[in-house]
Amino acid sequence: MGNTLYIATDRGFNWLDIGYKNIQRSRDTKLNSIAVSRMAADDSLLYLATPYGIYQYDPNNDRVSVMKTGSAVFDVNVDVVGVYLDTLWFAGSGGVAFFDPKTKHWNSFTQIQMRFYDIAFTGGTVWFGTDQGLLKYEAARNYWYLYTTRDGLADNHVYRIDIDDVDLWLSTRGGVTVFRWYRPGKTE
């Protein structure tokens, strides 16, 4: 968001405005003793994944609020959050969910039970780093696939996903895997 670097911590979040030397903290203290595992931003809000659900931070008003999901499943233990094409994505112990702010519609996949470490987006595909491998979701086909060591991953614990053109760089417990996600005509 602009020239600001937001930092998730085990006691809320902080930020650093680029060009200044001071780390700042919100005057709104709701998250001061709550761990923030991941953050994502859209044009106006910062979304924070916590053990107590999803929080929103409005930097223009310095306000923290709980994001009401309408589902008890996503009101606790959210591990990752991401924003892609105006859609908010969340994953945690309750499964995977996405929210369209324009229509106010939630869609959830509660049957997916994994530990989530990261989320990334390419084209119409959402990628999740999990404790069981690299989980892929193609929204257009409503299609899920789990890549594992049998597919060439160095380890099934995928902690970080970085995108480089047609490659995903995966940080795993067993080392780095370069995964070519786009191959014309290739299905799993």
Please write the tens of the pLDDT for every residue from 1-11. Answer: 778 999 999 99
Say if residue 95 is in the same domain as residue 125. Answer: no
Render pLDDT for 32-65 as a digit per residue (tens, 0 to 9). Answer: 999 999 999 998 999 999 999 899 999 999 999 9
Q: Average pLDDT, stretch 112-126?
A: 95
% residues pLDDT > 90 (the chain): 71
Residue 144: per-residue pLDDT: 96
Residue 122 maps to a domain: yes
pLDDT exceeds 60 at position 84: yes
Q: Average pLDDT, stretch 166-173?
A: 95
Count up the domains in the chain and report the number. Answer: 2
Whether the pTM exceeds 0.75: the reply is yes
Residue 32: per-residue pLDDT: 92
Residue 101: per-residue pLDDT: 85
String of b and e for 7-20 (b: at least 16 CB within 10 Å)?
Answer: ebeeebbbbeeeee
- Given 97, 113, 129, the domain boundary residue is 113
Say if residue 98 is in the same domain as residue 146. Answer: no
Residue 15 maps to a domain: no
Say if residue 125 is in the same domain as residue 171. Answer: yes
Say if residue 109 is in the same domain as residue 135. Answer: no
Structure tokens at 184: 């014309």
Residue 22 maps to a domain: no
Sequence-distant (≥ 6) Cβ neighbours of residue 127 within 8 angstroms = 119, 120, 121, 134, 135, 136, 137, 161, 168, 181
Residue 21 maps to a domain: no
Structural domain span for residue 149: 115-188
- Given 63, 93, 113, the domain boundary residue is 113
Say if residue 38 is in the same domain as residue 93. Answer: yes
Say if residue 120 is in the same domain as residue 84. Answer: no
Say if residue 121 is in the same domain as residue 188. Answer: yes
